[in-house]
Structure 1
Amino acid sequence: MNPPPQSSAESSTARTGSDAADATAEGELAAYRLRRERELNSLYTTARSLTALGEVDEVLHSIVRHAHELIGSDFAYLSLLDAEGYLTVRASAGTISSEFSSGRMPPGTGLGGRVIESGVPFWVSNYREAQGLPHDPTFDLLVPREGLMALLGVPLMVGERAIGALFAADRTERPFEKDEVALFSAFAGHAAVALNNARLYEESRVSLRRLEDAYRTIEDQVTTMERAAAVHEALTHAVLTGGGSGDIAQLLVEHLRGTVTVRDRDDAVLAIRFPRGRADGADADADQNVPPDMPADVLPDTLPDVSRDATRDMPSDVPRDVCEEARDTGRCVSTQGADGYFRSVVAVRPGGNHFGFLSLARRAAPEPADVRMLERSAQIMGLLFLMRDARAEAEERVRGELLMELMSRSPLHPAQRDRALARGVDVDHLDVLVVVDCPERTASEVVRQLKPLSTERSGLAGEYLGRATMLLHADDVEDVARTLHRRLRRTLGVPVLVVADRIAGERSRAFTLTQRCVKVIRSLGENDRGASAQQYGMYALAFDPDRSGDLDRFLADSIGTLLEYDRRRSTGLVATATAYFAHSGNLSRTARALHVHLNTLLKRLDRIGSLLGEDWRSPDSALRLQLALRLHELRAAVDASAPDTSG
């Protein structure tokens, strides 16, 4: 059945409606194309601007700013995965609180967790009512404060790995169109590339800086090593060519620009060098490195090695505890004093033996290279001290051998005489013998202090038969004994007996008389003095072996009866008589000294009277008896302390 024919008017109306619909569709299509062209152009422009950036933070803020403008949301933010897998907000655009912009989302939670795990975009029109999302309580508290409703998240992919997510958020409920999601995803792809490039660029710059720093460090180390090698070579050359501690200190001053002090094992200053400026003022600030506690009388531009006596009272430039730490550790120890100066000290201890300290004082803190230079210089200083001690030991050994040869009874060989003359010793003028006794010090310690004194007097000192002995020339024997005692007392710091005697005949006999005289003096209660043997001539019977026969006869005539009685009956009449005279005849004090009853003492005194005669307490008899008892006591002390060396 055919439709009824249309009129011309109806046909015209139909055509007009169709044309209008087509025109509307075409207009919408043109508008869509124009919008898409504008969006793509914006995307292209934005992507190109991102690739021109280099700093990571700059790229991050540029991404969120362009994303905010591109999608037209209320705000946008970008989160990156940290080392623990948390999504941490790194940049934001739009109105957003500081609490929200510093938030962190735990792994696998929220819309961000869904985007990271799936690697695809995801959006919700109302985040608070969204189902199927693992919510984070902390983030959920921030959502109402921000008024966040709609949320779109797209991953930032580098290859197959998501490094973070880019978010667009609105404060009104709304869906996100496919075109918006696609545009936002495309932008995120460009942004991820730009961000990754920025990261790589920053890592490259960091690596380059590290390489440059390492290169500079190597250059500095090479320069330091070359400088240290030059200093070490100069120090070694100074030592091997006969230089002293002052030369080493001066070399260190030139390189370390501070005050350098060398001390020996007794803390006496051997040398000081100061960084004094030149006449042209090239080093005008050098005085700043001279500590204020240095005495003004030791500050010349070129200071000679100072003597031990001149510097004994000089204030120490390094605290004692710091020195002890340096000595115990074997390393350089530094400290800053109240005056602002840094003081560094290292112990000189070659082979583990302590020889002294090397110290540096200056305003600037010591650099590691300075510390190494000080420690190396201490080793060189130790070499110097070892060489010095080796020479001194060899010289002392020669002098000790000369002393032993002179003390022997055999005649001196001409070659030995020449050796003595080469050392400034004329053996024919050595007419005084000195024996030193110091129970609190070993004989070798006493000899160490006696040797420089013997050199001053062109004499010889050494250990002979266990005694510190010295041969020298002197006009006044008593004066030389007192002088030596005063010097040794100061250096040893303990009581010391010094006895000198004029040599008459064999030196060995003079030694026997002198060392036995020392025993007599000590038995008399003296332990700290200098004297000549002639001052104790009245006791010569007790210490002169050649007069032992005279002493025997005198004792036999005076107390022989008491000695024989004590020997046969094991009594103590000699001791009783000695105590009686020692206490001036006071019976009570004598009994207490002997630890006997008064009646016992009276019986002993009666027995003495029956053996010696009733007048034994008369003045003349008592004087002779007291002298005999004293000589008997002294002989016993001398004979008991050591074997006789006269033979």
Structure 2
Amino acid sequence: MAGMESGTHGATDNDELASYRLRRERELSSLYATARSLAALGEVDEVLPSIVRHAHELIGSDFAYLSLLDAEGNLTLRASAGTISPEFSSARMPPGAGLGGRVIESKAPFWVSNYREARTLRHNSTFDQLVAGEGLMALLGVPLLVGERAVGALFAADRTERPFENDEVALFSAFADHAAIALNNARLYEESRISVQRLQEANRTIEDQVTTMERAAAVHEALTHVVLTGGGPGDLAQVLVEHLQGMVTVLDRDDRVVASRSSGGAVVGTGREPAPELLEAARRTGRCATAEGDDGAVRSVAVIQAGGSHLGSLSLTRPAAPEPPDIRMLERSAQIMGLLILMRDARVEAEERVRGELLMELLSRQPLHPAQRDRAIARGVEVDHLDVLVVADCPGKSTSDVVRQLNAVSPEWSGLAGEYLGRATMLLRADDVDDVANAIHDRLRHTLGAPVLVVADRIQGQERSRSFTLAQRCLEVMRSLGETDRGSTTQQHAMYALVFDPERSHDLDRFLTDSLGPLLEYDQRRSTDLVTTTAAYFANSGNLSRTARSLHVHMNTLLKRLDRIGALLGDDWRAPDSALRLHLAVRLRELRVAFEGGSSGAEG
């Protein structure tokens, strides 16, 4: 009966995950379709109702509305969707008041589950009366940003008290980014149309402006297509090159080149990076920065940002300086690239989370439930064939960074990677443990760009937890031995298994007692340092002068100590066989003390 309940619970988890993924796919599909339809609109009066209609359908709230800032800084309701009263439709909020004022000032999303009881907001009595009459309770607002300037806010409201989930806020914010672009394009289009009407004598200038706008609309349509078809940095760079010419380079959050395209052909993973001072200027201002290099080429850089996080940059290199429309095109492309990166990161994080959960289940539960087995098979992993466990550690990087790189290489060995008990861990299938340890080390060393330790262990039967214990303790022993950058196996360090294998702790106690017992007992009783002296003697290859200097004692003191050691262990303690055993004992004791951070059991 317990098995059936467990299986049902696992199936429910699987159903919930599938339902969640299906819902996210529907939401993202709706977001992309909405963005595309907005890109096709030209008039502000067309864009505003379309924005709130799509927002209302996307978030599924009782009603949605959009307010824009007027010349005095008031938020004035311009469009709404859903059933609301005429009085609410004419709502106007003074600067800094209400949830809208909070959103405009912070330029960030904000929500309350009950507006009337929200004490963190500066309330407006007129608007509060409208809220009461409308029965409004839960309210979410996101800013409409054009560059770094907030031009208004988009709201979703419900008449029942409820929180807004992170997924809803992220989806609504992503939609608002598209809406702001569409609204800004509509404003530009409208301004151009008015200019044409007023300045008919300047036909050529007006035609150039219209051409620029059509070109910008074509680029936006092409970039939207990249989003819809799941394209990457290289596809976006190619679209820009086709319209801007020159060379477009995409850098990641660590300022490494991930793609480069030029009008002369495609070159992946190469390209000249912009000067650091140009990157810094773009990051500081949040706008495109342009400068001429020593080689005579003009480089323009637009940063890729989202929620205050730096995600990378786009750079354009041409013989001549770009025109203002080209600059705007580059900046908008950076915004779309930010959306692409966020979408990609969300997918990767969701998959990594599922794989990490499955890894934890495999390491902490036995036997494996059918639902867990199905989850693994769905990802191309045969859990019964996972016969090697790997632990990796890179002090210069976070555990999540190491896990991300392990996830990237895990398909090569039909494996699973994740974080387990604070360690970057991977289960995989391999014939040669030595080869896989070296291969994973080389890959991590290259991708992380820092020294990394990797330890692999062959799983005996289904004892995955024991393999994890051996691997992670062996890694600590390696670090105590001074190793910082190596791929190894627990078998290669078998001579130290007495230290890192918990099941052999008693064997180590007996070995230390048999080998060092008289010295340990004498040191404890007399508060002397005979064990330390023995370790220093072997560490200096029996050279008495170097040993005395390392211990900071006089030669006569050292000789007296060595005589005492001989009296306790026997005069043959320096004979080859006895010395080998004694040297190994003091070294294992040192490792245990370093590994456990305290006195060994033999000393107690």
TM-score tier, shorter chain, comes to 0.5 to 0.7
What SS does the aligned partner of 1:534 have? coil
1:578-601 superposed Cα distances (whole Å, 9 cap, x missing partner): 111222222221111111222222
The 8 Å contact of residues 363 and 465 in structure 2, kept in 1 or not, is answered as: yes
Q: What is the match of residue 551 of structure 2?
A: 594
1:368 is aligned, of 287, 305, 324, to: 324
Q: What is the match of residue 247 of structure 1?
A: 235
Q: State how far apart, in whole Å, the 1-side matches of 2:532 and 2:565 are.
A: 11
1:558 corresponds to 2:515: yes
Tell me which moved more, 255-264 or 505-514. Answer: 255-264
1:488 is aligned, of 440, 444, 449, to: 444
Q: State how far apart, in whole Å, the 1-side matches of 2:583 and 2:493 are.
A: 17
1:236 corresponds to 2:193: no
2:279 is aligned, of 311, 320, 323, to: 323
1:259 corresponds to 2:215: no
Q: State how far apart, in whole Å, the 2-side matches of 1:439 and 1:338 are.
A: 39
Q: State how far apart, in whole Å, the 1-side matches of 2:246 and 2:388 are.
A: 50
- The structure-2 alpha-carbon separation of the partners of 1:362 and 1:457, relative to structure 1 and needing over 3 Å to count, comes to same
Structure with bigger gyration radius = 1
TM-score by length of 2: 0.62
1:372-403 superposed Cα distances (whole Å, 9 cap, x missing partner): 11101110111011101110111111111111
Which one-letter code corresponds to 1:429 in the other structure? Answer: H
- The structure-2 alpha-carbon separation of the partners of 1:522 and 1:238, relative to structure 1 and needing over 3 Å to count, comes to closer
In the alignment, structure 2 segments of 5+ residues that lack a partner are 1-197
Q: State how far apart, in whole Å, the 2-side matches of 1:498 and 1:635 are.
A: 21
Q: State how far apart, in whole Å, the 2-side matches of 1:345 and 1:524 are.
A: 47
Q: What is the match of residue 475 of structure 2?
A: 518
- The structure-2 alpha-carbon separation of the partners of 1:582 and 1:318, relative to structure 1 and needing over 3 Å to count, comes to closer
1:36-93 superposed Cα distances (whole Å, 9 cap, x missing partner): xxxxxxxxxxxxxxxxxxxxxxxxxxxxxxxxxxxxxxxxxxxxxxxxxxxxxxxxxx
Q: State how far apart, in whole Å, the 2-side matches of 1:328 and 1:413 are.
A: 53
- The structure-2 alpha-carbon separation of the partners of 1:612 and 1:641, relative to structure 1 and needing over 3 Å to count, comes to closer
TM-score by length of 1: 0.58
The 8 Å contact of residues 262 and 356 in structure 1, kept in 2 or not, is answered as: yes
Q: What is the match of residue 182 of structure 2?
A: none
What SS does the aligned partner of 2:571 have? coil
Which one-letter code corresponds to 2:468 in the other structure? Answer: F
- The structure-2 alpha-carbon separation of the partners of 1:441 and 1:340, relative to structure 1 and needing over 3 Å to count, comes to closer
Which one-letter code corresponds to 2:223 in the other structure? Answer: L
1:530-568 superposed Cα distances (whole Å, 9 cap, x missing partner): 111111112211211111122211211111121122223
Return the offset for 1:361. Answer: 2.8
Return the offset for 1:214. Answer: 7.7
Q: State how far apart, in whole Å, the 2-side matches of 1:547 and 1:455 are.
A: 35
What aligned pairs does 1:196-275 form with structure 2 within 5 A after superposition? 221=209, 224-275=212-263
Q: State how far apart, in whole Å, the 1-side matches of 2:454 and 2:528 are.
A: 38
1:535 corresponds to 2:475: no
The 8 Å contact of residues 245 and 271 in structure 1, kept in 2 or not, is answered as: yes
1:612 is aligned, of 569, 592, 604, to: 569
The 8 Å contact of residues 391 and 455 in structure 2, kept in 1 or not, is answered as: yes
1:393-452 superposed Cα distances (whole Å, 9 cap, x missing partner): 111111111111111133222222222222222212211111123233332232233221
- The structure-2 alpha-carbon separation of the partners of 1:369 and 1:625, relative to structure 1 and needing over 3 Å to count, comes to same
What SS does the aligned partner of 1:349 have? strand
2:343 is aligned, of 365, 375, 387, to: 387
**Higher relative contact order (CA closer than 8 Å, sequence separation 6+):** 2
1:576 corresponds to 2:533: yes
Q: State how far apart, in whole Å, the 1-side matches of 2:297 and 2:553 are.
A: 71
What SS does the aligned partner of 1:436 have? strand
Return the offset for 1:484. Answer: 1.7
Which one-letter code corresponds to 1:231 in the other structure? Answer: V
What aligned pairs does 1:272-287 form with structure 2 within 5 A after superposition? 272-275=260-263
The 8 Å contact of residues 418 and 426 in structure 2, kept in 1 or not, is answered as: yes
Return the offset for 1:369. Answer: 0.9
What aligned pairs does 1:338-349 form with structure 2 within 5 A after superposition? 340-349=296-305
What SS does the aligned partner of 2:528 have? coil
- The structure-2 alpha-carbon separation of the partners of 1:517 and 1:389, relative to structure 1 and needing over 3 Å to count, comes to same
What SS does the aligned partner of 1:596 have? coil
The 8 Å contact of residues 257 and 271 in structure 2, kept in 1 or not, is answered as: no
1:635 corresponds to 2:569: no
What SS does the aligned partner of 1:553 have? helix
In the alignment, structure 1 segments of 5+ residues that lack a partner are 1-209, 276-289, 291-298
The 8 Å contact of residues 249 and 271 in structure 2, kept in 1 or not, is answered as: no
- The structure-2 alpha-carbon separation of the partners of 1:641 and 1:488, relative to structure 1 and needing over 3 Å to count, comes to farther
What SS does the aligned partner of 1:535 have? coil
Return the offset for 1:623. Answer: 2.1
Q: State how far apart, in whole Å, the 2-side matches of 1:222 and 1:260 are.
A: 25
2:391 is aligned, of 420, 430, 435, to: 435
The 8 Å contact of residues 410 and 416 in structure 2, kept in 1 or not, is answered as: yes
Matched pairs, number? 404
Which one-letter code corresponds to 1:235 in the other structure? Answer: L
The 8 Å contact of residues 260 and 271 in structure 2, kept in 1 or not, is answered as: no
What aligned pairs does 1:43-82 form with structure 2 within 5 A after superposition? none
Q: CA RMSD in A?
A: 2.9
The 8 Å contact of residues 519 and 637 in structure 1, kept in 2 or not, is answered as: no
Tell me which moved more, 517-526 or 425-434. Answer: 517-526
Q: State how far apart, in whole Å, the 2-side matches of 1:473 and 1:442 are.
A: 25
Which one-letter code corresponds to 2:318 in the other structure? Answer: R
Which one-letter code corresponds to 1:554 in the other structure? Answer: F
- The structure-2 alpha-carbon separation of the partners of 1:249 and 1:522, relative to structure 1 and needing over 3 Å to count, comes to closer
Q: Percent same amino acid among aligned pairs?
A: 71
What SS does the aligned partner of 1:394 have? helix
Q: State how far apart, in whole Å, the 2-side matches of 1:339 and 1:440 are.
A: 36
Q: What is the match of residue 121 of structure 1?
A: none
Q: State how far apart, in whole Å, the 1-side matches of 2:452 and 2:532 are.
A: 30
Q: State how far apart, in whole Å, the 2-side matches of 1:245 and 1:576 are.
A: 62
What SS does the aligned partner of 2:280 have? helix
The 8 Å contact of residues 348 and 378 in structure 1, kept in 2 or not, is answered as: yes
What SS does the aligned partner of 2:573 have? coil
The 8 Å contact of residues 343 and 360 in structure 1, kept in 2 or not, is answered as: yes
Q: State how far apart, in whole Å, the 2-side matches of 1:451 and 1:466 are.
A: 16
Q: State how far apart, in whole Å, the 1-side matches of 2:482 and 2:232 are.
A: 46
Return the offset for 1:246. Answer: 3.2
The 8 Å contact of residues 417 and 427 in structure 1, kept in 2 or not, is answered as: yes
The 8 Å contact of residues 499 and 532 in structure 1, kept in 2 or not, is answered as: yes
